[in-house]
Structure 1
Amino acid sequence: MLDSIPLFPGLPGGPELLIVLLIIVLLFGANKLPQLARSSGQAMGEFRRGREEIEDELKKGAEEGENDDDEEDETEAEAEATETEAENKQ
């Protein structure tokens, strides 16, 4: 019973993958497959590096945003202290 239920419905199984690979070989030729694999690997590496750079920039921006909030809180506290000092002098 469990043998007939696919774990990942919608994903091609063994025979379907073989047919897809055969079509790829027919389209690009056996000689160009290593070049195609190499270029797709390089593209994936560039994509990964770009994604990591964006994540780093977002983290730095979030950290700077937290620091800015702290500075604003300190500035507000100083302004309130100055106001209370001015009120006490009057």
Structure 2
Amino acid sequence: MPFGLGPTELIIILGIALLLFGAKRLPEIGSSLGNAIKEFRKTQSDDSNSEKKSISSSDKKE
């Protein structure tokens, strides 16, 4: 399980989130969180690729 959480802990966290945000807003929050994670990974991947290209081009210059 992610972060070492078992099924019981995940159910408790989901229950608390349901109480805090309500059933209507929970899918909206999950979608927003998923989009944020996707954008973060994309940016991280782009940065990694540009870093590799800059290292490669600096190696060719030498």
Q: If the length of structure 2 is used for normalisation, what is the TM-score?
A: 0.84
Secondary structure at the aligned position of 2:23 is classed as coil
What's 2:54 paired with? Answer: 61
What's 2:5 paired with? Answer: 12
Unaligned runs of 5+ in 2: none
Structure 2 CA distance for aligned equivalents of residues 14 and 49 of structure 1: 29
Instruction: Kindly indicate whether residue 52 of structure 2 is the aligned counterpart of residue 52 of structure 1.
Output: no
Unaligned runs of 5+ in 1: 1-7, 70-90
> How far 1:51 moved relative to its partner?
0.6
Structure 1 CA distance for aligned equivalents of residues 29 and 19 of structure 2: 13
Paired residues, number: 61
Instruction: Kindly indicate whether residue 15 of structure 2 is the aligned counterpart of residue 22 of structure 1.
Output: yes
**Counterpart residue type for residue 23 of structure 1:** I
> How far 1:52 moved relative to its partner?
1.3
Q: If the length of structure 1 is used for normalisation, what is the TM-score?
A: 0.60
Moved beyond 6 Å, runs of 4+: none
